[in-house]
Amino acid sequence: MKIDIPSGVRVYNRKETREIDYIVKKIEKVFEKWCYEKINLPVFEYYDVHKKAFGKDIKDKTFKLIDRTSGDILSLRADFTAQVARYFASLKIKEFPKRYYYFGRVFRYFPPKSNKLWENFQLGIELIGVSRLEAEAEIISISIISLKELGIDNFQIDINNIKIFKALKEILGLSEEDYIDFMNSIKKREKFLIERYLKDTDKRIKSFVYQILENQFTVKELEKLKGNLEDFKNLQIAIDELIKIYSILEEYEVNENVVFDLGEPREFSYYTGIIFEIFIKGFKKQVGQGGRYNDLISRYDGSIPATGFAFNILNIWEYLRDNNLIKTTPKKDFYIIDTTDNKRRAYRLAKLLREKGYTVARDILDRDYKKSLEFAFKEGYKNVILIFENQNLLYLYEDLESYKKIDIDTFLKSL
């Protein structure tokens, strides 16, 4: 009988699970300090509802299922932000601002040869009902503080503004189809394909497009860039938003890891303003991304401003693991081995220890106590308690070789 699992999924062993949980709990504590509240969302959605948030690329990667009763097409969750938007749109009473956070798996199909997993862990936040740039500054600040909480300092936040590309679409007179092609060419840095859209345009626009393809910018360089675009108001407004974001981050004292990469449009069609990606220097994979999506909730019901971001937890875990930056051990305080027929003392002792806040397991196999001792220390228990037939004594082991005899009541009083 075949007992393998599909190529796009994997099992996480005890150590790996403990490490991932450690990362998640650390970040969740940061979220909660900023008063974000956790919500749990379903793994399944109606496909017709879920797909409203996506462009063709994500739609093509979405897993679809059939409801056996109704025949409706369902989908596995491909993105949390779309779910939060759908959930918020469904609320009868909407009060602002709302701060949510979530954690769970997202599912996207990749061909087996890509060696990419079909399921990933996302942990993120959404700030709904605020249109001011302070909202973006807040979520970027939270992403920075979260990474520092994990001991990661060598990261970079690449910030961009979708409004730059919307302004270029208008200036260049691009159709929707040409705009998509133009954006893809920008993303791939394909100058020879971009040139056909710039043939008859202003020299300043040509210069601007070529500059964003080849450079990342400091805030001072952005100010210079803005000054060269005096006749293009919407472009100036978009660049000015980036400058203002930096100013707020500077006030928060979290601006040192920020750069502006204007040649990186994101894959999600729902972004409408400031967007950002998070990278760790020397690590090729993106560890987070986010941005403003003012029009997404309106695809379900009502126009409401919102912004958010999500961490790719597996990529963060991979980086921390490969650099030996996760130091976690299971909390296993006591292992009780009772060699007597009547296990009452072991029951009582385990109960009292747990009431005092210790973690306790009992040996409930019929085997030689020496094998149980070896098992306990191999499994990482800090202490082993051995109980024999006579008297009210126990043997307390801190390793395989050394122990001390102690009265049970005296032992409990010493804790």
Would strands 98-107 and 73-76 be described as parallel, antiparallel, or unpaired?
A: unpaired
Low-confidence residues in the chain, pLDDT < 70? 1, 266-268, 390
Domain boundaries, the chain: 14-322, 334-414
Greatest pairwise CA separation for the chain in angstroms: 98
> Which positions ≥6 away from 112 have C-beta within 8 Å?
7, 8
pLDDT at residue 4, rounded to an integer: 87
Number of residues that this document lists for the chain: 415
List the structure tokens of 384.
């082993």
Classify strands 155-161 and 274-280 as parallel, antiparallel or unpaired: antiparallel
The class (CATH top level) of 14-322 is: alpha beta
User: Given this structure, which CATH class describes domain 334-414?
Assistant: alpha beta
In the sheet where 64-66 sits, what is the strand order? Answer: 44-46, 73-76, 64-66
Is the pTM of the predicted complex or chain greater than 0.85?
Answer: yes
Whole-number Å distance between alpha carbons of 226 and 232: 9
Using alpha carbons only, how large is the chain's radius of gyration in Å?
28
Is residue 377 within a helix (H) or strand (E), and if so which, with residue range? helix 369-378
C-beta contacts of 338-343 below 8 A and 24+ residues apart: 338/362, 338/363, 338/387, 339/369, 339/386, 339/387, 339/388, 339/389, 340/387, 340/388, 340/389
pLDDT of residue 268: 60
- Position 267 scores a pLDDT of 54
C-beta atoms surrounding 207 within 10 Å: 14
